[in-house]
Structure 1
Amino acid sequence: MTVFTLLRKNIPRYLLPHLRSKTLEARILCMSSYAKYAEHKNLEHIRNIGISAHIDSGKTTLTERILYYTGRIEEMHEVKGKDNVGATMDSMELERQRGITIQSAATYTLWKDHNINIIDTPGHVDFTVEVERALRVLDGAILVLCAVGGVQSQTLTVNRQMKRYNVPFLAFINKLDRMGANPERVLFQLRSKLHHNFAFIQLPIGLENDSKGVVDLIHRKALYFEGDNGNIVREDEIPSDMRSLCEDKRQELIEHVSNVDDILGEMFLEEKTPSEEDIKNAIRRSCLKRAFTPVLVGTALKNKGVQPLLDAVLRYLPHPGEVKNYALRETSGEEPEKILLDPARSDANPFVGLAFKLEAGRFGQLTYLRSYQGMLKKGDHIFNVRTRKKIRLSRLVRLHANELEDVNEVYAGDIFALFGVDCASGDTFVTDPKLQLSMESIFVPDPVVSMSIKPNNSKDRDNFSKAVARFTKEDPTFRFNYDPDNKETLVSGMGELHLEIYAQRMEREYNCPVTMGKPKVSFRETLTGPCEFDYLHKKQSGGAGQFARVVGIMEPLPPHKNTLIEFADETSGPNVPKQFIPGVEKGFLQMCEKGLLSGHKLSGVKFRLQDGAHHIVDSSELAFMLAAHGAVKEVFERGSWQILEPVMFVEVTGPDEFQGIVMGQLTKRHGLITGQDANDGWFTVYAEVPLNEMFGYAGELRSSTQGKGEFSMEYSRYSPTIPKVQEELILRYQENQGLVPQQKKKKN
């Protein structure tokens, strides 16, 4: 068996054409290329980055260019698949048809002897959990912004997620070739809306159709991107008409970095001229601390500015050894202890890894993991900390979109995948279970929209069950439950598009067409004022009796906590023995699952248990749980209640001539206009609108703006509904419960 035959078994699919080549040079090049990718780098030569942005800012196009310039793919393709191929990272057929990213996709590539692991994330708010779990395991990120749209609603969300996980990032202003491109305006928005320290390290040479290249402010050079695909970077002098502007912007950059970096700050105060290396080192130090973010410019579609962005990733973003990652060691009865993990790429420490994403692959469940400590080899055994199950690793793979490449070992800092491992998203895996270490899990937002769902054909129920089981396991924001009142099956998610995509995937992947009902909003019920309770539960029916009395107050939480429920034990003395307190809390939480006003969950309430009574024989945890049920029902009858609804932050963009119409539509939908911007014949309106009023808005906006208007929305907060909506919800609930006769429908 020749070396080429051996290689063919393991080599990635994208390199096979080279291996089949008749020329020895091409085959040797293929072998050396594979060896180069398979080689494990030192810690300093690894970068784990994510590419995040508002929808349609050019994330996937940018990733496609990065893979091309680093030699990972041979040809570049467009996102919407105009050439019937589509972008590499949009491997799902639905993604190519719609031109949007639905699932985050992972790949790895090489640039200047550095291994870069990349996760391309969706931009649509409905798939925000994909961004959330990607940022949880990454060390750095690129925030992509449209040179026309600037800072948009999802940009703010991504920024909050980066802040939550303390992820340093670069800003890349894309689409300089678009009409109305204005990087200066985008920089102003970055500073004013994200409240962060930003400054240009590059300036564009020309805009729109005149976009020629970029100026590197640190090295005082102009960069032009030549060749068929912009793969030749030519350095030249800065154009004479830009020299004064470039010096001003370079000085502005030094001032912004000096404000947050002590070393450069001292040089600035002493009026010393910093060298290029001084400036770059200061930018790196302040970027790692998230005290400063460099802003780069370019146009990925026209192949300009991508290579300098890759250089900036290596220069300014951290390697895994520069990021402090902690695991929690839990001991019974004590606060979890934070343990700093060692990122050294050796087997000196036991392995610790986090499963951050699940996906159904060709060979069973594919589990994406990030390794934080130690190393793993094929054939090793690992333990799931949550389930205590032992798993033998028969196969380790690294990912290139939907292609899998086998590896024999992985080290701290690597992103890889396992097959056939039964686990949940957020599980921790270790090689030494005695350590009792677990990583902090991923933040999962609550679903805001529910819709009824049923398969069109009863014979498809098995496939329907398989699809639901898979999707709910892969996506923690996709929920499935049965509503006994309305006798229908409900799915819940982050928006209409979210649920629509899953309905289409059921038909495509499981041959199970489904019918979706009218969207239902996740309303909540809450108290408007404190209400005392004093409830005695007493039952004697022969044999052991039940006795429990609970006394206290239920009160509303502050508005910023109106999605939470709290229980407080304020008892003192022996009236309510401590072993019965969990029963009271359990009873309260059970009643919070379904309110008596409209059948929706309770939120924004606090149950304060202050006193009570027990019987030496007849009291039990069950009796106190039932007493808590009665106490909550008592508060329902005596207290003042109101219904809360999710309010969305809505951003609408369109031509100026339609601004009045759009604002009228939002006001009609009970929206509150919070701000507006204007830019070169286009307007942007910001508003807060109840989610219940937003259904059907997409079609209305298109028809009223001749198809030119766009909008995006994301969850903002829960707020009280208007009285009319509250009355309708209460009446509908009472009709379903048979408490009032159903009103006869009026004949047309």
Structure 2
Amino acid sequence: MTIFSLLARKSGVLKRNPVQLHILEENVACMASYAKYAEHKTLECIRNIGISAHIDSGKTTLTERILFYTGRIAEMHEVKGKDNIGATMDSMELERQRGITIQSAATYTLWKDHNINIIDTPGHVDFTVEVERALRVLDGAILVLCAVGGVQSQTLTVNRQMKRYNVPCLAFINKLDRMGANPNRVLSQMRSKLGHNAAFLQLPIGLENETKGLVDLIKQKAVYFDGQFGEVVREDEIPRDMRSESEDKRQELIEHVSNVDEILGEMFLEEKIPNEGDIMAAIRRACLHRTFTPVLVGSALKNKGVQPLLNAVISYLPNPGEVENIALCENEGQETEKLVLRPERSKAHPFVGLAFKLEGGKFGQLTYLRCYQGMLLKGDHLYNVRTRKKVRVPRLVRLHSTEMEDVSEIYAGDIFALFGIDCASGDTFVTDAKVNLTMESMYIPDPVVSMSIMPANSKDRDNFSKAVARFTKEDPTFQFSYDSDNKETIVSGMGELHLEIYAQRMEREYGCPVHLGKPKVAFRETLAAPCQFDYLHKKQSGGAGQYARVTGIMEPLPPHQNTVLEFVDETIGTNVPKQFVPGVERGFRLMAQRGLLSGNKLSGIRFRLQDGAHHIVDSSELAFMLAAQGAVKEVFESGIWQILEPIMAVEVTAPEEFQGTVIGQLNKRHGIITGTDGLAAWFTLHAEVPLNDMFGYASELRSSTQGKGEFSMEYSRYSPVMPELQDALIQHYQESQGITQQQKKKKN
């Protein structure tokens, strides 16, 4: 009996139909002992990729097809879970019910003797941190675009994230079978909106209901996907009516690549005709340098174009050895040094790994790691560079959604998970305690929405505490605090859906139903004009006294920096001794936690310390901290202040007949229309709307468009609020402070 037969019998695959057995027989046989197989893998045969896109572009459906064609799963299931099973990568019950991805999920598979690690990420803006940490550890990505929607709001965000981490990508224009599909328009948007030097590698043969296959411009062949599940890939001659267009698009592809690749550029200038190998090699070089984006087409739902996409992943995206990963070497008394890690699959160099995601489970904390250098064996000891704690590795696993496979060793370039290790997201692990290397962590956006939360039953407080502790550790954008003034517990996140999902998870996973209060927007306070300060803090009432004087200027930062705080030490001489300057900064940042105008945080301010005075005996860091706090209060009284609010980039898609209604709704919500796109009988509206005015918009849009309208939004910037809203916020804060003062008097 073959290895495949044994494995198939164990997993129940032999009950499947012959087509599925044929697919599995080709690919799954080599998975019988994955750990042993991976041991002999060279770096050239490994790909770490992510699948990212705007919500509802087909990421999870595409991943399901990839797993099926590579033999990783025996059956395909749909995202919505109508058969009560749902897609493999949507393992959470809430994901299957809502038809959206909430948590990124990892898996691995094999295609043409290459090991492909895949992370399927959410598309909703509320879960954008999942995309951030996935792209931080991946070497390449597939940017999925809808053939109808094109470049949408979250596509722009994902594109920025890829640029931030310098991740090469392929573009896959999905949903060619949908009414109104127009891949040429999507390509045009990629060039204009995303700034990509992009060109087609394939052309669709027919669109919408007429989708039959695609034309491979490099091989100059038509490709069809036969069989019940599109598993049989058949090449044929290009249809006559597409030959002229194919020639033009092939020439366009060569020109776009020649502009960024010297070798192909020279051939182009010398009028040499490049062959298939020349073009593919040039595309790979340009793609690795992020100077060219190959564009592929297909329909994941209709099983078309997935196998050529897998071939493109192997042909054009980098292996771990082609990506430069930097670690910071920090030694006491020396400058921080940057070191390039060596991703060799051996013990020649010490192990270095980055924890990029935490997940609570029935076996304790599951920590996802990426190995950047060296190798790790089961039973080895790891050191957390941040805490310097030593831990033993009791179990090493590879992940396939929620399923786990134990392995005995891990090599550079692998993505894996550990159990029972207490750490934070972004921690670096090494096996040699003498190695003091730290990987750069990922970017974490600030929360924009806050809501009060409390358990429905007082007896559930223990479970509530456990749930909050777990979720805040897993998700750095989900934050928890206690408002002592209003006596409320506050949770903050990236949007209403974000907080709503966690509330539902508390009830489902911890049996703790909760009540969420009205959403609160994260307003900010800032200066409208520079203001000087000169504050003397003096306290002498017996014993050791306090003396500190600070002078300088507080000024607003430019609008594009109005979410940060800056402290600048401009002192010259010894009037303010250098050991007391950190106290001044601490005092400024403490005051910035709660403004005196509306009780919100300060942002967009630069505190310039220019001079001051100290006493040889009575001055201390505490005295200068109190002086800085007094200076900020002084500026509150004499300066001109304004309140900022988050502005969201909103994208609304609805049938054309409702365009006037939608525009009217956004105008009522103080929105500014920035652009419109029309396609067939639908329109897409782009606007900038204050987040404070967006609450309840989902139900209003659905009711006014007969349930056909959809919208998405993402954070854009902070901007000054309307004068009437500022007055209302100040009045509300003053009233709440007045009540608080009365409560304090009663207690006394």
1:280 partner amino acid? M
In 2, Cα distance between equivalents of 1:302 and 1:28: 22
Confirm or deny: 8 A CA contact 2:525 2:603 kept in the other structure: yes
Aligned residue number for residue 464 of structure 2: 464
Distance, in Å, in 1 between the alignment partners of 2:640 and 2:739 is 20
Q: Distance in 2 between matches of 1:677 and 1:609?
A: 50
Partner of 2:116: 116
Q: Distance in 1 between matches of 2:602 and 2:662?
A: 35
Pick closer, same or farther for the CA change 1:477–1:406 going to 2, 3 Å: same
> Secondary structure of 1:55's partner?
coil
Within 5 Å, which residues of 2 pair with 1:333-344?
335-344=335-344
Q: CA deviation at 1:485?
A: 1.3
Counterpart-to-counterpart distance in 1, 2:631 and 2:537: 9
How do 1:580-729 and structure 2 match up within 5 A?
Answer: 580-729=580-729
Matches within 5 A, 1:168-567: 168-332=168-332, 335-567=335-567
Give 3-state SS (helix, strand or coil) of 2:551's partner: strand
| Structure 2 match to 1:746 | none
The alpha-carbon deviation at position 19 of structure 1 amounts to 9.3
* Separation in 2, partners of 1:336, 1:522: 36
Counterpart pick for 1:34 among 32, 35, 41: 32
Amino acid at match of 1:34: A
How far apart are 1:435 and its partner, in Å?
A: 1.8
CA distance in 1, matches of 2:332, 2:165: 27
- Would you say the 8 A contact 1:199–1:252 is kept in 2? yes
CA distance in 2, matches of 1:356, 1:430: 15
| Matched pairs, number | 733
Secondary structure of 1:39 counterpart: helix
Structure 2 distance, partners of 1:193, 1:731, is 42
Q: How far did 1:52 drift?
A: 0.3
Distance 2:204 2:178 in 1: 13
* Distance in structure 2 (CA, Å) of the matches to 1:167 and 1:179: 32
TM-aligned CA deviation for residue 434 of structure 1: 1.4
User: Following the alignment from structure 1 to structure 2, what is the Cα–Cα distance between the partners of residues 80 and 49?
Assistant: 24
1: distance between equivalents of 2:220 and 2:130?
39
State the alpha-carbon separation in 2 of the partners of residues 209 and 31 from structure 1: 36
Helix, strand or coil at the partner of 2:128: helix
Contact 1:20–1:27 (CA under 8 A) maintained in structure 2: no
| Distance (whole Å) between structure 1 residues aligned to residue 108 and residue 96 of structure 2 | 21
What letter corresponds to residue 373 of structure 1 in structure 2? Q
What residue identity is the alignment partner of 2:32?
A: Y
Q: CA deviation at 1:166?
A: 0.3
Question: Structure 1 739/468 Cα, relative in aligned 2: closer, same or farther at 3 Å?
Answer: closer
Give me the whole-angstrom Cα distance separating, in 2, the residues matched to 1:429 and 1:18: 39
What fraction of aligned residue pairs are identical, expressed as a percent?
A: 77
**1:204-261 CA distances to partner (integer Å, 9 max, x unpaired)?**
0000111000110000000100111000001100001100000000000000000000
AA of the residue aligned to 1:262: E
- Write the letter of the residue equivalent to 1:108: Y
Distance 1:14 1:585 in 2: 67
The DSSP-based 3-state class of the residue aligned with 2:738 is coil
| Cα distance between partner residues in 1 of 2:437 and 2:625 | 34
The code of the aligned residue for 1:404 comes to M
1-structure distance, mates of 2:290, 2:9: 37
Distance 1:358 1:694 in 2: 31
From the superposition, tell whether residues 675 and 493 of structure 1 become closer, same or farther in structure 2 (CA, over 3 Å): same
| Cα distance change of structure 1 residues 28 and 287 upon mapping to structure 2, 3 Å threshold | closer
Q: CA deviation at 1:16?
A: 2.7
Rounded to whole Å, the distance in 2 between the matches of 1:693 and 1:336 is: 46
Gaps in structure 1 of 5+ consecutive residues: 743-748
Tell me which residue corresponds to 1:53: 53
For 1:519, give the aligned amino acid. Answer: P
Q: Deviations over 1:311-331 (max 9, x none)?
A: 000000000000000100123
> What is the SS of the residue equivalent to 1:719?
strand
Cα distance in 2 for partners of 1:15, 1:582 equals: 65
Show structure 2 runs of 5+ residues with no match: 17-21, 743-748
The answer on whether the counterparts of 1:37 and 1:110 sit within 8 Å (CA) in structure 2 is: no
Structure 2 CA distance for partners of 1:171 and 1:37, relative to 1, 3 Å? farther
RMSD of Structure 2 on Structure 1 (CA): 2.0
Once the two structures are superposed, what CA deviation does each residue of 1:110-139 show, in whole Å capped at 9, x if it has no partner?
000000000000000000000000000000
Looking at structure 2, the residues matched to 682 and 38 of structure 1 have their Cα atoms a distance apart, in angstroms, of: 53
Structure 1 residues 263 and 517: CA distance shift in structure 2, 3 A: same
Q: Distance in 1 between matches of 2:9 and 2:352?
A: 32
8 Å contact from structure 2 (residues 547, 618) kept in 1: yes
SS where residue 346 of structure 2 aligns? coil
How far residue 31 of structure 1 moved from its aligned partner, in angstroms, is 6.9
State the alpha-carbon separation in 2 of the partners of residues 180 and 188 from structure 1.
Answer: 16
Mapped pair 1:17 → 2:12: yes
Matches of 1:124 and 1:544 in 2, distance apart?
57
CA gap of 1:549–1:32, structure 2 versus 1, over 3 A, is closer
Conserved in 2, the CA contact under 8 Å of 1:37 and 1:109? no
SS of aligned partner of 1:264: helix
Shift, 1:740, TM fit? 11
Q: Structure 2-normalised TM-score?
A: 0.96
User: Using the alignment, how far apart are the partners of 2:401 and 2:429 within structure 1?
Assistant: 24
**What whole-Å deviation, never above 9, does each CA across 1:430-489 have from its counterpart, x for those lacking one?**
011212100000100000000000000000000000000000000000000001111100
State the match for 2:165 in structure 1.
Answer: 165
Please say which of residues 561-570 and 25-34 is displaced more in the overlay.
Answer: 25-34
Q: Specify the SS of the correspondent of 2:180.
A: coil
- Paired letter, 1:720: P
Deviates most, 326-335 or 309-318 = 326-335
The DSSP-based 3-state class of the residue aligned with 2:12 is helix
Counterpart position of 1:576? 576
Say whether the 8 Å CA contact 1:523–1:601 is kept in structure 2. Answer: yes
The residue number in structure 1 matching 2:745 is: none
- 1:30 Cα offset (Å): 7.5
Q: Is the 8 A contact 2:28 2:72 kept in 1?
A: no
> Which residue identity lines up with residue 639 of structure 1 in the other structure?
G
Q: CA deviation at 1:369?
A: 0.1
State the distance in 2 between where 1:425 and 1:543 align.
47
SS of aligned partner of 1:434: coil
Give the drift of 1:521. Answer: 0.1
The answer (yes or no) to whether the contact 1:561–1:604 under 8 Å persists in 2 is yes
Secondary structure of the residue that 1:666 maps to in structure 2? helix
Hey, what's the Cα distance between the residues in 1 that align with 2:619 and 2:91? Answer: 61
Quote the Cα distance in structure 2 between the aligned partners of 1:16 and 1:715: 46
Q: Distance in 1 between matches of 2:587 and 2:99?
A: 48
Tell me, in whole angstroms, the C-alpha distance in 1 between the residues paired with 2:704 and 2:9: 47
TM-score, length-scaled by structure 1 = 0.96
User: What is the deviation of 1:27?
Assistant: 12
What's 1:745 paired with? none
Once the two structures are TM-superposed, the CA of residue 406 in structure 1 deviates from its matched residue by 0.2
- 1:738 partner SS: helix
State the secondary structure of the residue aligned to 2:356: strand
Residues in 2 aligned to 1:334 and 1:700: alpha-carbon distance in whole angstroms:
60
Cα gap change, 1:740 to 1:81, in 2 (>3 Å): closer
